């Protein structure tokens, strides 16, 4: 019955805004041209968020009651539903077009294979389930939260390619719902537009970016902000518990989001401005943040890996963070690609809007919507930018926390500009129309060109590994690779490595670096205690990305031992260019070395 009443209320387009002290604005069908009965004082426009009413200027007193209601609606940002009929039709049509894009994206990518960094995390979970300890035996550069989240995803959606796609779709759906929740009082169409473009840009980045850690972090940030906004808007402090859970989980995936807890300060300031108690919200938020951190501590303690984790945190990880750094000019150029022209237009619109607002004594971009929410969104944008720049790698998925907040804020401000006059209105309409009719379809076209049918690298590796023993090699095979696909093949064949080293870039850095020497010593000790039957050496090198096997020569001791005890049984090179993202990747090459006395040659 409650659902039926809500639906009937929507049909009559009756909207109520505000909390406390009868401060709400209520109106019914558009043909009603009067102020609601509850607002008999025509000298003031009620503040929709329960603060003191603002006196009307002489210009406002000269307006009709209907104009004053419409103006109040604009300040809250709900004029999109009360505007002219043509605007409503245009937004409704655009929404259906966006839904069509999203549906096409799902259908086009449902069968994408399991490749990329997500496979590495899946493989760590597989090794954990085979009894290996993280950081003590599994040598990786990821935080524990990535493993815990991936374990939940694998046991919820499945461990295969379809499960990964469902997890990726769920993340994008959660991002869209969070954007909608954040923008609900202001502009729901803007949220739908931003969510669609975010999903399509993610797909445009290519198959390897599926369910990346930074995508999970971006979704957790958006959800955390949505919960915090809900807590402040409704005055319900317990919603801050959900914010804390999101913030704490994001921090356990990458420490670059540690400042996210500062949103508790924004919440406290907002509550203070509304005359409400701040302590409950801060306590609930702190409790929620502590839960994921405690879960990670218990996980490491159970695995007896606290010391190893601490050692890697201050040793091997800073070493990895310094590899492959990009100049800041490159990072800035690629930070918002391909949305750079719209960012420039957005900044111009903001500046022009502020100038026009001072002239009209109005506020642009829903300043009355609430100061703290606007500042909180700017904080989220800055934190996303800091996370991207701080990692210094310039990988496409590192942009996701930045893009999530940037797209949402741009969409909300462009939509607000459509309700202005003159060039501002033209700019807002042009920007949103370009998103719907250019950026989205072009991204969808690029997504459709990615070749997911021919997974040549996996087919070659699967065939060679089967020839050498297949399942019998579990525990006796070792990859020397970073991201060329060897670990991917082992995971999909459910084979356990001889060592816990998932990448080989630790070994080849020129010069005598303490971390490199430590990694070499650990690897050497393991392979001497349990020599692998098979080595698969990928031609790729990181961070130089030179295509050659000369990396082995940079560790003469290992190179001599490998050639003395193993024979090369295969030297493979793919025959086709790999089209799994926007860059045409050269065919993958690898060599297979078999220990003397093991298996047969071909």
> Tokens for 163?
């499960």
Average pLDDT for the chain: 83
pLDDT at 225 over 70: yes
Q: What is the mean pLDDT of residues 63-85?
A: 42
Confidence of residue 40 (pLDDT cuts 50, 70, 90): very low
pLDDT at 19 over 60: no
43: left (phi over 0), alpha (psi -120 to 50) or beta: alpha
Helix (H) or strand (E) holding 570: strand 566-573
3-state DSSP assignment of residue 26: strand
pLDDT at 539 over 80: yes
Cis amide prior to 338 (ω within 30 degrees): yes
Residues 74, 75, 76, 77, CA torsion sign:
positive
Q: What is the mean pLDDT of residues 453-476?
A: 92
What gap in Å lies between CA 537 and CA 239, rounded to an integer? Answer: 51
What gap in Å lies between CA 27 and CA 38, rounded to an integer? Answer: 10
Q: What is the mean pLDDT of residues 438-464?
A: 92
Tell me, what's the pLDDT at 228?
94
Min mean pLDDT across 23-27, 478-482, 502-506, 516-520 is at 23-27
Give which of 553, 555, 536, 539 is closest to 595, Cα–Cα.
Answer: 536
pLDDT at 34 over 70: no
Helix axes 279-302 and 263-273, enclosed angle (nearest 10): 160
- What are residue 592's DSSP bridge partners? 536, 570
pLDDT at 26 over 50: no
What gap in Å lies between CA 58 and CA 61, rounded to an integer? Answer: 5
Answer whether 574's CB lies under 8 Å from 518's CB: no
Percent of the chain with pLDDT over 70: 83
Measure Cα distances from 369 to 265, 294, 331, 365, 526 in Å: 19, 37, 33, 8, 61
pLDDT at 14 over 50: no
3-state DSSP assignment of residue 478: strand
Tell me, what's the pLDDT at 55?
41
Q: What is the pLDDT of residues 332-378, one digit of tens each?
A: 988 998 999 999 999 999 998 888 777 665 555 544 444 788 889 99
Confidence of residue 24 (pLDDT cuts 50, 70, 90): very low
Tell me, what's the pLDDT at 326?
87
What gap in Å lies between CA 418 and CA 420, rounded to an integer? Answer: 5
Tell me, what's the pLDDT at 419?
86
Tell me, what's the pLDDT at 259?
92
Tell me, what's the pLDDT at 59?
40
Confidence of residue 1 (pLDDT cuts 50, 70, 90): low
What gap in Å lies between CA 34 and CA 14, rounded to an integer? Answer: 14
Confidence of residue 71 (pLDDT cuts 50, 70, 90): very low
Secondary structure in 3-state letters for 519-549: HHHHHHHHHHHCCCCEEEEECCCCCCCCCCC
Question: Which range, 79-88, 215-224, 234-243, has the best average confidence (pLDDT)?
Answer: 215-224
Rounded-to-10 torsion of CA 231, 236, 240, 243: -40
> Tokens for 556?
């003469």
- Residue ranges in 53-187 assigned as alpha helix (H): 58-61, 65-76, 79-82, 85-109, 117-129, 144-157, 161-183
More confident site: 486 or 64? 486
Tell me, what's the pLDDT at 437?
95
Give which of 275, 185, 262 is closest to 235, Cα–Cα.
Answer: 275
Confidence of residue 10 (pLDDT cuts 50, 70, 90): very low
Q: What is the pLDDT of residues 244-300, one digit of tens each?
A: 999 999 999 999 888 998 888 888 878 777 777 888 889 999 999 999 999 999 999
Phi–psi pair at 356, nearest 5 degrees: -65, -35
The string over 294-314, giving b where at least 16 C-beta atoms fall within 10 Å of a residue's C-beta and e elsewhere, is: ebbeebbeebebeebbeebee
Confidence of residue 547 (pLDDT cuts 50, 70, 90): low
pLDDT at 561 over 50: yes
Q: What is the mean pLDDT of residues 445-469?
A: 92
The pTM is what? 0.84
Confidence of residue 6 (pLDDT cuts 50, 70, 90): very low
pLDDT at 72 over 60: no
Tell me, what's the pLDDT at 567?
95
Confidence of residue 511 (pLDDT cuts 50, 70, 90): confident
Phi–psi pair at 530, nearest 5 degrees: -145, 80
Beta-carbon contacts of 386 under 8 Å, excluding residues fewer than 6 positions away, are 256, 259
3-state DSSP assignment of residue 602: coil
Tell me, what's the pLDDT at 364?
52
Min mean pLDDT across 129-133, 471-475, 545-549 is at 545-549
Measure Cα distances from 167 to 114, 118, 558 in Å: 12, 11, 40
pLDDT at 38 over 50: no
Q: What is the pLDDT of residues 179-218, one digit of tens each?
A: 999 998 888 999 999 999 999 999 999 999 999 999 999 9
Per DSSP (E only), the strands in 13-79 are 15-17, 25-27, 44-45, 54-55
Tell me, what's the pLDDT at 85?
76
Tell me, what's the pLDDT at 359?
66
User: Long-range pairs for 473-480 at CB < 8 Å and ≥24 separation?
Assistant: 473/533, 473/534, 476/532, 476/533, 476/534, 477/532, 477/533, 477/534, 477/535, 477/536, 478/527, 478/532, 478/534, 478/535, 478/536, 479/504, 479/535, 479/536, 479/538, 480/504, 480/535, 480/536, 480/537, 480/538
What gap in Å lies between CA 394 and CA 390, rounded to an integer? Answer: 10
């Amino acid at each position: 019955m409650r659902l039926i009443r809500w639906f009937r209320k929507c049909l009559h387009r009756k909207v109520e805004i505000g909390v406390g002290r009868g401060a709400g604005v209520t109106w019914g069908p558009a043909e009603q041209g009067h102020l609601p009965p509850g607002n008999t004082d025509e000298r003031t426009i009620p503040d929709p968020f329960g603060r003191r009413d603002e006196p009307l200027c002489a210009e406002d007193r000269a307006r009709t009651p209907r104009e004053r209601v419409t103006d109040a609606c604009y300040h809250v940002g709900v004029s999109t539903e009360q505007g002219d009929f043509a605007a409503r039709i245009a937004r409704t049509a655009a929404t259906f077009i966006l839904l069509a894009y999203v549906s096409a994206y799902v259908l086009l990518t449902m069968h994408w294979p399991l490749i990329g960094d997500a496979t590495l995390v899946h493989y760590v979970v597989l090794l954990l389930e085979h009894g290996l300890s993280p950081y003590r035996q599994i040598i990786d550069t990821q935080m524990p939260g990535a493993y815990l989240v991936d374990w939940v995803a694998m046991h919820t959606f499945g461990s295969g390619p379809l499960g990964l796609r469902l997890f990726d779709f769920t993340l994008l759906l959660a991002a869209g719902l969070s954007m909608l929740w954040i923008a609900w009082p202001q502009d729901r169409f803007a949220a739908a537009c931003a969510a669609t473009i975010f999903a399509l840009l993610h797909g445009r980045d290519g198959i390897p970016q599926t369910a990346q850690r930074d995508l999970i972090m971006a979704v957790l940030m958006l959800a955390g902000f949505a919960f915090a906004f809900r807590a402040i808007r409704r005055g319900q402090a317990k919603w801050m518990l959900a914010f804390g859970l999101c913030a704490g989980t994001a921090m356990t995936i990458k420490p670059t989001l540690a400042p996210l807890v500062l949103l508790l300060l924004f919440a406290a300031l907002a509550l203070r401005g509304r005359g409400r108690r701040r302590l409950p919200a801060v306590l609930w938020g702190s409790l929620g943040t502590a839960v994921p951190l405690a879960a990670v501590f218990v996980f490491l303690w159970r695995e007896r890996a606290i010391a190893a984790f601490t050692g890697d945190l201050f040793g091997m990880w800073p070493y990895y963070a310094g590899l492959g750094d990009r100049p800041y000019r490159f990072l800035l150029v690629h930070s918002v690609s391909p949305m750079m022209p719209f960012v420039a237009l957005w900044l111009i619109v903001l500046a022009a809007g502020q100038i026009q607002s001072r002239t009209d004594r109005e506020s642009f971009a829903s300043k009355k919507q609430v100061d703290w929410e606007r500042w909180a969104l700017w904080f989220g944008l800055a934190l996303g930018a800091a996370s991207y720049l701080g990692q210094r790698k310039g990988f496409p998925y590192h942009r996701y926390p930045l893009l999530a907040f940037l797209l949402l804020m741009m969409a909300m401000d462009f939509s607000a500009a459509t309700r202005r006059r003159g060039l501002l209105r033209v700019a807002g309409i042009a920007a949103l129309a370009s998103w719907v009719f250019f950026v989205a379809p072009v991204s969808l076209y690029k997504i459709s060109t990615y070749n997911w049918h021919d997974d040549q690298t996996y087919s070659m590796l699967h065939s060679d590994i089967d020839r050498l023993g297949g399942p019998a090699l579990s525990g006796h095979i070792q990859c020397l690779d970073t991201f060329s696909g060897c670990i991917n093949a082992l995971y999909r064949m459910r084979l356990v490595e001889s060592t816990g080293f998932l990448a080989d870039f630790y070994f080849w850095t020129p010069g005598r670096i303490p971390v490199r020497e430590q990694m070499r010593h650990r690897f050497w000790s393991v392979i001497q205690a349990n020599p692998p039957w098979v080595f698969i050496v990928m031609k790729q090198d990181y961070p130089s990305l030179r295509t050659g096997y000369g990396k082995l020569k940079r560790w003469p001791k290992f190179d001599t031992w490998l050639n003395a005890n193993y024979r090369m049984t295969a030297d493979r090179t793919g025959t086709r260019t790999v089209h799994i993202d926007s860059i045409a990747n050269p065919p993958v090459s690898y060599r297979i070395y078999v220990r003397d006395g093991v298996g047969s040659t071909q």
